[in-house]
Each structure stands twice: as C-alpha cells, then as structure tokens.
Amino acid sequence: MDHESIAIYLNALESGSERRRDINLIIVGKKSVGKTSLVRRLFGEELQSVKSTNGIEIHRRRCRINLSNWEWNKVLDTRLVKETSINNRILQSIVKELHQDKEKPKHDILEISSSDQISTDDNKGTITKNIEHDEEPQPKRAKMNYQFAYPEITESPLSKLAKDELLSIIGSAVDLQDEDGYANLTVWDFAGDIEYYNTHQTFLNSEAIFLVVANLHDIDDTVSYGTFNFWMDTIHCYGSINNKTEAVLLEGAHNLLDPPVIAIGTHKDKFQDEEQCRKRLESYTDKIFKDSKLHLRSIHLISNTEDVEDAFEKLRNDIFATAKSTANWNREYPVKFIQMEKAINSELTIGKQIISFERLKELGEKIPLPITDNKELHLFLRYQHEIGNVIFFEDIPSYIILDPQWLANAFTCIVTAQQFQLELPHLQWDNFKKTGKMDPKLLEEIFKKQSADMRIHKEHILEVIEKFDIIIYPLLLTESGNVQREHSFFYVPCMLQTLKIKDIDVLFNVPNASKSTCLCFVFSFLPPYLISNLIVSCLREYPLAVVKGEIGLFKDCCVFNIGRTGCAKFVLAKSSHMIQLQVWQWDEVDTEVNQAVLKVVEREINRIVNTRYKLKTVSFEKKWKCETTSFSFDTGFLEFDQVNDGEKYYCEEHATVHKYKDYWSGEKSKAPVRLSSEEQNYVRMSMIVLEVLSGVLYDRLYIDTKTGEILDRDKLDITEMCKKYCALKINFPSKGFRKIEKVDEISTNEDAIGDDIQRIRVIRNEMQHSSVFALDDTRYQTLITTVHDMLTRFDQRNNPAGESYVKRLDKIRKMELKTRSFEEIKERMKAGNLSDIFFMFEVQE
C-alpha cells in the first residue's frame, strides 16, 4: 500500500462526495385497508398469510435505478450486505477521485482499465485488487484494475489509519457497478390501529414519500374518511415548499408541497367500473384541507387480490418518478459521512442498538479523517434520520437509535392494539385502559410473551421508551407532603380510554372563584399525539393530582399539583383543535403561579413541535375563555389585547357580561402599546430580509452550485450563504465582497448578480446593526425601491417556484403587524440572532 493512494483516499474523505438516492416510503391508512398486502405486491410476493400489522414493520431493499427496467430487488439489508455496500461506496469514491486527478500533472496514473486479474503489491507503490462478489443475483460486474505510482512520504498516524481502512475494504467484497445502479429503498409498513399513532410519530419525517391508503368499499364510512383526512393533515405538519424549482416549473406545476403523497384506493375488485372507483377516492381528496392537498401527486386504484403485475409496475414507476422530483434526490453526500456510517454500523454489529451523542463523537474522532465538529455530526445524524437509517432527536441526544425496527418492537411491548391484547386474555387490560397504570404484575406478564432478546433487555427498553415520551414514572405527593418520583409502576397516557374532560372540575370539586380564565392554545391542525407528549413532559415536572383515591390522568386530559400543599393545581385538556390550560387556586390567587405554569407548558409545546418532530406547519395562537367555560366549548375566544384588567366584556358562551381579571399578565405587559411608523418600517424590512432575501440567495446558491448541495434550509443565514457563494468564485461584485457598508455605495451595474448579492448582504447588515430598531420613512422607501428592482431581476434569473419574489415583497409591505412580540424581537436583534424572527412575529394579511 503506497502513501499516495492513502493520500487520495484521505482527500476523497475530505472533499469528495457521492450522489445519494434514497427513497423512504411510508405506508399509512386505516386498519385492514390492505397496506401490508400492497407492500407484498410491490415486492412481487404472495399474499397468503398476511396478518394484521403489530406496530411497524420496516423493510429495507435496494432497487435498480432504471426507468425502463425498474425492479425492486429482494436484497434484504442484512448487516453483512450493509457493510459490503458501505465498502463499495468508499472504494467508488476513491476511483472517482482517481478519475478527477487524471487531469492533474502531479498524479501519474498509469492505468485505469477493465481486467479480470488484479493483485496487491505493497512494495512497488501500487494498489491492485481482485474484486469479488458474494451477493446473488448479480448483474454484470465491473472488474476494475487501477494502478498508480507516487513518491514515498512519511507515514503519519492518520495515513496508518487510512491504510488499515483501505486494506480492510480491499479484503471485502465490492461491486462498483452495483452501487452506481441502485437506490436504497426503505419501506415502512405502519399498523392502522389508532393505539399506535403515538409511536408512529417517531418514525415520520419530512423527507419521506407517503402512500395514504383507503379501502374504496368503505368510502362512505365516516371513520374511514376521518383516518384519510387525519393522515393527510399529519403529513402536512411536515410540509415545506418543493424547491426543486426547475423540475416543478418544467411540469407546469406550482406551489407543490413536500413530502409527496400518492393516494391509493384498494379493493377495486369489488366494483365493476374504474370510473366509479375514481370518483369514490376523489370524494376524499376533494374534501381535504386545501394546503394538505398540495402534497398529493397522484392517485392509484388497485386490487391487491385480483390485479395483475401491470398495476403494481405502474405504481412502482410512479413512486420512482415522485422520488426523483423531491429536493434531495441525487444529493451530494460527503464521503466522510460514509466513514461515519461504517463506524455506527460496526456498533450495531457488536449488538449496540443505541449510542449516545458522546459515543458518536468518539467514533467521529477515530475515523481516518476525523469529524470533530458537533454541527457536522448533527448534520450527519439529521441526514441519517431522514433516510430512516437511525432515529435521532436533538432533545434526546443520549439515545441515538441505530436500528429503527428495534425501537418499533420496543414500543409494541407496551403500546398494544386491541387485537394483540386479545392474545393475552387473562391479563387485566381493563384497569390499564381506564387508569393508564402499568403495574409490575401486568408488565411481567407482558414481557413473558416477548422474544428472549426483548425479555433480557426489559429495563433498558423501559428506559428508552420513557425517553420517547411513551411512559412516565410519575411524581406523587406522599402522605407526609413530600414530592417523590414513583419507580414501582408507570403510566402510559396514550393508552387511556376514559374520557373525563367534561366533568373534571366536578370531580375535583373546584369552586368557580378558584378558577383562572382558560388559556387556549388554538391550532390550525392539532396533531392528536401532542397532548400525550405534553402530559408526559409536564408529569416530569409536576406531581400528578389525586382526589378521593382517583388519579387526575384521563384520555386527553390531566390534572397536576403545583407545589407541595395541593392548594394550587392546573389542568391540561385537549378538545377539538385546542389545548386548554386552567389554573385552580383554592387559597389566595397569585398570578405569578399562572405565568410560571404557562411558561413551562408553552416551552414544552414548542419543544415537541419544533425540536422533537420539526413540524414545519404547526403553529398556535394563544387566546382565552372565561373562568366558568366548559372545556368542550371551542368558539368565542377572546384576544389578549382585547380587554384590560378590571374591564367588562361580553362572554359568548354564557351570553352575559363578565369582568376581566388578568391572570396571564406577562402576555400583555411585555408589549408596547403600539408600534411607531419607524418601528413598523424596521420590522417590515427585517422580515423582508429574512423571508424574501435569504430565500433569493438560497435559490441562487442552489442554482449556481448545480449540485443540490446539502444546505440547512431551516437556518438560512445570509453571511454563511454569502461565504459559500464567494467560494464559488463566480459573479464577483464589482467592488469586492467586504469593502461596502451601505447599499448606496454599490455599483449601479444592475446586471451583475454579484452586486445584487452584495446588496442583500449590506441590507441585512444595516438591519442587524441598527441600534435604534427604527427606520425612517425616507430610508425605508429607498430600501424598498432598491429591493423591489433587485427582486424583479431575480424573478427573471432564478425563476422561483411558487409565488414571485416581488409578490412576496408586496405581501409583507401590506401586512398588518401586531405588536406583542416586538420587545422579544429587539432582544434577538441585539443578540445578532436573526433567524426565526419571522415565525415569532404574528402577522395577519
């Protein structure tokens, strides 16, 4: 093994990349509609012995990328195959590097040719390799012979690592041809039972393609439509604009949202007429929420039992075409990351299903070209999560799940659909469903039925599923008035079936005078599992309230104690599209208690929505209802700045007048009464920078890199993007990048893209470095004219998907601004943290 080959390898690791083609296909729909049967047919398998799915089944396959001859190969992704595949990818990157180096004079590549006979010779400075295969069935294989000679260099510890690595790859089976010709397909077959919806959530993500399946025969059933609608809305929670600008424009489609959905109607065999089937399925797709509809790409009508292969071939091709139209198809993947994949795969091989971020860091340090930057490791994990290789959430970094099926199995130990509960008829399910309480005896019986592997790891499984918010060991008040964490049993909120929301205050005997106004988090779409996650989160901080021996935990509703005395409690209750919070104080009312609880609850909702699940389209508004409201009343909300403390207001629910008491005053006192016109100008311009200009720059970068390079779209930062653009060494601004401070100093050469990028940078700086957070009318008008002209040019150059940039600008100019978050925004401006401001600022068109 010569040093230059090691150098090439290290270079490939540092700067090289491969094209990834990953399809993450998730199949959802009501119970028994035919999801598993559909998976079988897609894989060309028999339908016999299809059983109802318990939880989630993950099938991983590789399939050939060839539109005319596209087959879903039955290569199971066993660990051995995975290892081989990783080695192939590494070796291929070296060969690619060699090809690239061909043009460089210092590299003296002697030969790259096809030959059957390859050998290894360390002394003469050549790598040769006989590439063999142990996979079957195999198409034509490329037998590569590559030899090269370089001067000797001193061996460093790094090159020693690289040498060992290369030797180990060379000693394994590789097939360069195959890697180029395959896409990785992961199919997730989800159970239809509602009990699992809480656990399904862990496996969904914004990069998948969804098949939403409905039984055409069931179409008039309201539960059937409800489930279809539920899945479309749930998918929309992950919605983002499909930014593959060119592809979308070419097909004449606008404003499509990812993740894409293909709607499938099964049981076509029960109808004579295909047109009738189509109308039935369209009666669903026509009714769904207009934004959820933007995910829908096509519909397919099939019979799993009767249709011949053609129908499934058509569907396979459609899935493939859909995958190709997603933003991340063929994206560049750093070769270094393949190394990391190899490192985590070896952890799996030695039986570790879970590793911590700390362990990942250690692994990152040990690979031939170490990854030590946390951000880079996070990017790696995010990508791996998106393609379904690992499960990783930023808020639980100690639990990186290397085998998603293991986690799915762990979930189904505890979250069990009715049908699977029936297999253990002798157990006390009723009490479990009523109280959510899992006592040690029931737990023991359940684990007796699990596989040996699961039984051995019982404690570990419980620890993991607690981290994933499925179970909670509650805090309880002891008789002596202390707060203690319970360890002998736990609760499973998502399994509860007893609904008590209506009479919860009667149960706790709460006098009206003790109740606060009811704070409502009103969602446009409220993911149903959110309340269980939220209850678990709050039970980590507050003791569960108990009254007359009955605990305050019910389906979609929970009562917590605040402090040790029990004199103050709060309730969280879900009803239709809102989560409600009410504080009960039997003693003197202290509004600081309300504010403290609100802070925790709001923080946890934001964590679940934004950090845990990264739900891009889920947002809420905080409103309120009167003290004596019924939790099921879901209209007639009042705005926080509508009434002042002590003022009277009309209550729609009780058709009478009440006096307003300000329990949540933190809500109001923070905000200035009104924004001045200069402040409004400033806020508008900041929003234009964040919402429009950063998008322009992103699109331009995307077009000019021509690589679809991985960019963190969530954290668009103009400085970072300018740096990247600068590195492309094209379209330099007329006066260089750094010298200009004001937009007025930029050359008047309006054709130059570089000058416009410069304009974006300095306008953003002007906003960020403002010390007064105000912009006078003249300056605002000057900037608006500059931005307007520039956006007209970029509309021509970038041809953006969806709305034109100028239209987006006009929207912000006309928006009505609310004042509440202004102080908070100023703080963030001062801190230099400009991202996300737009989302914090509540705006109305």
Ligand X SMILES: Nc1nc2c(ncn2[C@@H]2O[C@H](COP(=O)(O)OP(=O)(O)OP(=O)(O)O)[C@@H](O)[C@H]2O)c(=O)[nH]1
Instruction: Kindly tell me which of 271 and 489 has the beta carbon lying closer to ligand X.
Output: 271
The one among 198, 266, 325, 516 contacting ligand X by CB under 6 A: 266
Q: What is the DSSP letter of 610?
A: I
Per the listing, tokens 């991983």 go with: 60
CA distances for 668 relative to 427, 593, 595, 641, 647, angstroms: 52, 16, 12, 7, 14
Q: Quote the least distance from Cβ 78 to ligand X, whole Å.
A: 24
Q: What's the CA gap between 384 and 94, in Å, rounded?
A: 22
37 touches Mg ion by CB under 5 A: no
The one among 17, 53, 202, 409 contacting Mg ion by CB under 5 A: 53
Residue 674 buriedness (CB in 10 A; 0-12 / 13-18 / 19+): exposed
35 touches ligand X by CB under 6 A: yes
Would you put residue 548 in left (φ > 0), alpha (ψ -120 to 50) or beta?
A: left
Instruction: Kindly tell me which of 35 and 200 has the beta carbon lying closer to Mg ion.
Output: 35
Tokens of 338: 């393949």
41 binds, among Mg ion, ligand X, none (CB under 5 to 8 A by kind): none
Give the range of 16-24, 33-41, 316-324, 479-487 binding ligand X by CB under 6 A: 33-41
726 binds, among Mg ion, ligand X, none (CB under 5 to 8 A by kind): none
The one among 269, 313, 332, 394 contacting ligand X by CB under 6 A: 269
303 touches ligand X by CB under 6 A: yes
Q: What's the CA gap between 613 and 606, in Å, rounded?
A: 10
Q: Quote the least distance from Cβ 266 to Mg ion, whole Å.
A: 12
Residue ranges in 494-529 assigned as alpha helix (H):
504-507
* Cβ–Cβ under 8 Å, residues 61 and 187: yes
50 binds, among Mg ion, ligand X, none (CB under 5 to 8 A by kind): ligand X
* Cβ–Cβ under 8 Å, residues 420 and 208: no
Give the range of 169-177, 303-311, 727-735, 786-794 binding ligand X by CB under 6 A: 303-311
36 touches Mg ion by CB under 5 A: yes
The one among 21, 31, 200, 244 contacting ligand X by CB under 6 A: 31
The one among 33, 323, 407, 718 contacting ligand X by CB under 6 A: 33
The one among 7, 50, 142, 784 contacting ligand X by CB under 6 A: 50
Instruction: Kindly tell me which of 50 and 600 has the beta carbon lying closer to ligand X.
Output: 50
Residues 6+ apart with CB under 8 A from 321: none
Nearest one of 215, 192, 189, 190 to 302, comparing CA atoms = 215
Q: Quote the least distance from Cβ 251 to ligand X, whole Å.
A: 30
The one among 5, 17, 24, 37 contacting ligand X by CB under 6 A: 37
* Residues 440-459: x where in contact with ligand X by CB under 6 A, - otherwise, as a string: --------------------
The one among 305, 346, 705, 786 contacting ligand X by CB under 6 A: 305
The one among 304, 325, 561, 686 contacting ligand X by CB under 6 A: 304
533 binds, among ligand X, Mg ion, none (CB under 5 to 8 A by kind): none
* Residues 223-262: x where in contact with ligand X by CB under 6 A, - otherwise, as a string: ----------------------------------------
Q: Quote the least distance from Cβ 267 to ligand X, whole Å.
A: 4
Tokens of 821: 């978050």
Q: Quote the least distance from Cβ 287 to ligand X, whole Å.
A: 22
Q: Angle 482-485-491 (CA atoms, 0-180°, nearest 5)?
A: 130
Instruction: Kindly tell me which of 212 and 344 has the beta carbon lying closer to ligand X.
Output: 212
Q: Helix or strand or coil: residue 475?
A: strand
Q: Scan residues 774-813 and list those touching ligand X (CB under 6 A).
A: none
Instruction: Kindly tell me which of 9 and 190 has the beta carbon lying closer to ligand X.
Output: 190
Residues 6+ apart with CB under 8 A from 24: 186, 188, 205, 207, 208, 209, 386, 387, 388
Instruction: Kindly tell me which of 200 and 385 has the beta carbon lying closer to ligand X.
Output: 200
Instruction: Find the farthest-apart pair of alpha carbons in the chain and give their distance in angstroms, rounded.
Output: 95
* Residues 52-91: x where in contact with ligand X by CB under 6 A, - otherwise, as a string: xx--------------------------------------
758 binds, among ligand X, Mg ion, none (CB under 5 to 8 A by kind): none
Neighbours of 305 (CB within 10 A): 14
Q: Quote the least distance from Cβ 63 to ligand X, whole Å.
A: 21
Q: What's the CA gap between 583 and 538, in Å, rounded?
A: 14
Q: Scan residues 161-220 and list those touching ligand X (CB under 6 A).
A: 191-192
Q: What's the CA gap between 269 and 262, in Å, rounded?
A: 20
33 binds, among ligand X, Mg ion, none (CB under 5 to 8 A by kind): ligand X
Q: Quote the least distance from Cβ 31 to Mg ion, whole Å.
A: 8
Q: What's the CA gap between 32 and 370, in Å, rounded?
A: 48
594 binds, among ligand X, Mg ion, none (CB under 5 to 8 A by kind): none
What is the 3-class SS of 683-713, one letter each residue? HHHHHHHHHHHHHHHHHHHHHHHCCCCCCCH
Q: What is the DSSP letter of 62?
A: E
Q: Quote the least distance from Cβ 412 to ligand X, whole Å.
A: 12
- Sequential DSSP letters for 660-687: ---SSTHHHHTS-SS--HHHHHHHHHHH
Q: What's the CA gap between 297 and 211, in Å, rounded?
A: 10
The one among 7, 32, 271, 619 contacting ligand X by CB under 6 A: 32
Backbone angles phi, psi at 536, to 5 degrees: -60, -45
Would you put residue 576 in left (φ > 0), alpha (ψ -120 to 50) or beta?
A: left
Instruction: Kindly tell me which of 213 and 363 has the beta carbon lying closer to Mg ion.
Output: 213
31 binds, among ligand X, Mg ion, none (CB under 5 to 8 A by kind): ligand X
412 touches Mg ion by CB under 5 A: no
Instruction: Kindly tell me which of 53 and 285 has the beta carbon lying closer to Mg ion.
Output: 53
The one among 3, 20, 267, 761 contacting ligand X by CB under 6 A: 267
Length of the chain: 845
145 binds, among ligand X, Mg ion, none (CB under 5 to 8 A by kind): none
Q: Quote the least distance from Cβ 718 to ligand X, whole Å.
A: 47
Nearest one of 292, 293, 330 to 183, comparing CA atoms = 330
266 binds, among ligand X, Mg ion, none (CB under 5 to 8 A by kind): ligand X
Instruction: Kindly tell me which of 47 and 547 has the beta carbon lying closer to ligand X.
Output: 47
Give the N- to C-terminal CA distance of the chain in Å, as an integer. Answer: 66
Nearest one of 695, 671, 667, 842 to 764, comparing CA atoms = 695
Residues pairing with 485 in the sheet: 475
34 touches ligand X by CB under 6 A: yes
Instruction: Kindly tell me which of 35 and 612 has the beta carbon lying closer to ligand X.
Output: 35
| 354-381 burial: b if 16+ Cβ within 10 Å, else e | bbebebbbebbeebbbbbeeeeebbbbb
Q: Quote the least distance from Cβ 494 to ligand X, whole Å.
A: 17
245 binds, among Mg ion, ligand X, none (CB under 5 to 8 A by kind): none
Q: What is the DSSP letter of 306?
A: T
770 touches ligand X by CB under 6 A: no
Instruction: Kindly tell me which of 53 and 516 has the beta carbon lying closer to Mg ion.
Output: 53
Residues 6+ apart with CB under 8 A from 235: 204, 210, 212, 259, 261, 292, 295
Q: Quote the least distance from Cβ 189 to Mg ion, whole Å.
A: 6
Residues that bind ligand X (CB under 6 A): 31-37, 47, 50, 52-53, 191-192, 266-267, 269, 303-305
Residues that bind Mg ion (CB under 5 A): 35-36, 53
